[in-house]
Amino acid sequence: MGIKRIPAYAAIYLLWGGAYLAIRVLVQVLPPFLVAGIRYSLAALILIPVILMRSDRAPTWRQLLNTLWTGALMLTVGYGAVFWAARRLPSWVVAVLASTTFLWTYLGESLVLRSYRFQARMLLPLFTGLAGMPLLVGGNSHGDHVSMLAVLAVLLGAVSWSVGSLALKRINMPRSYIQTAGLQLATSGLLLLCLSAGLGEWTQLPPMTQIIAWRPIVAMAYLVIAASVVAFSAFHWLIAREPAYLVATSTYVNPMVAMLLGIVAAHERYSPLQLVGALAVLSSIIMIWHLQGSTDQFEMSELEAMPDL
């Protein structure tokens, strides 16, 4: 792995893992789509001077259009669902559900794009992950109601993010990853603010003393700078250089970080059955990653062993 890839992977592994607790903190105070819109709009504003200083070639109309619709799919739908569900589910449960992004990305890359061969031995980890879902969302021994609508919303968001990630590998995008990140953040920020206004969220604001408290301010600063400007830019840098399924492995590290922060730091409730379900989901993702990695190495060794013709 190149030296530049290490901090890039660390950014999407760790910074996005902490984002789930920050989202949870904010949506307890502010409406979810308003929070998401502010987050992405502020991040886009921060990237504007960076884009201007780089003097990269302006995107073509096709590149601009592709950037806008993929940004809407990945951030407006993908993470808009996460913000909405964060009011109804513990942050670590949201993170584990979102980790299925890896499964959808792998299936799309192997079965739809056919970048990799799908093998029968992958079925066991896939079914292991699916078997863990009912325990994760239904194994609550504390009697708390689990919103199935919120669960489905996060899964829909995971699929949307996967489709957008796979599209980035095949469609014509700006050469500058900073341009791509900035345009997608700006598009999603505006769309989410419009959605928030249309739903009347702006009339549901709490007293100003709750908004300017230190916890919401720190959480928003973390989401804007660490999780959006730094991690999202790192994601686009990686997606242009690495297989999509390998970049998506961040989704099995993110829940571990989110689980640690949610249970230990925020004292979020959990049950042993839910932990078993979370372990099943994460184990399935790790097994697929390991099996696919060994397959790639085997195929590469076969190619190297072939005689030159």
Instruction: Report the pLDDT value the prediction gives residue 268, as an integer from 0 to 100.
Output: 67
- pLDDT, one tens digit per residue, over 98-157 is 878 877 887 888 788 777 677 777 777 777 766 766 666 555 544 456 678 998 999 999
CA-wise closest residue to 231 among 23, 11, 6, 14: 11
- pLDDT, one tens digit per residue, over 215-245 is 999 999 999 999 999 999 999 999 888 877 7
User: CA-based Rg of the chain, rounded to a whole angstrom?
Assistant: 20
- pLDDT, one tens digit per residue, over 198-212 is 999 998 899 988 888
Instruction: Report the pLDDT value the prediction gives residue 139, as an integer from 0 to 100.
Output: 52
pTM over 0.85: no
- The length of the chain in residues reads 309
Sort 180 into a burial class: Cβ within 10 Å, 0-12 / 13-18 / 19+.
buried
d(CA 279, CA 268): 17
What letter represents residue 50's amino acid? V
How many beta carbons lie within 10 A of that of residue 126, not counting itself? 17
Confidence category of residue 309, pLDDT binned at 50, 70, 90: very low
pLDDT at 56 over 50: yes
The mean of the pLDDT values for the chain is 82
* H-assigned helices in the chain: 5-10, 16-27, 32-54, 61-71, 80-85, 91-98, 101-107, 123-138, 148-168, 177-198, 208-211, 214-221, 231-239, 244-247, 250-260, 272-305
- pLDDT, one tens digit per residue, over 188-201 is 999 999 999 999 99
Confidence category of residue 295, pLDDT binned at 50, 70, 90: low
| DSSP character at residue 262 | I
Considering the chain, what percentage of its residues have pLDDT values greater than 70? 80
Instruction: Report the pLDDT value the prediction gives residue 302, as an integer from 0 to 100.
Output: 38
pLDDT at 308 over 70: no
Instruction: Report the pLDDT value the prediction gives residue 300, as an integer from 0 to 100.
Output: 37
- pLDDT, one tens digit per residue, over 249-290 is 777 677 777 777 777 766 666 677 767 777 777 777 677 667
State mean pLDDT over 54-70.
92
Query: Using an 8 Å Cβ cutoff, are 126 and 288 in contact?
Result: yes
Instruction: Report the pLDDT value the prediction gives residue 304, as an integer from 0 to 100.
Output: 36
CA-wise closest residue to 251 among 222, 272, 281: 281
Most confident of 32-36, 253-257, 299-303: 32-36
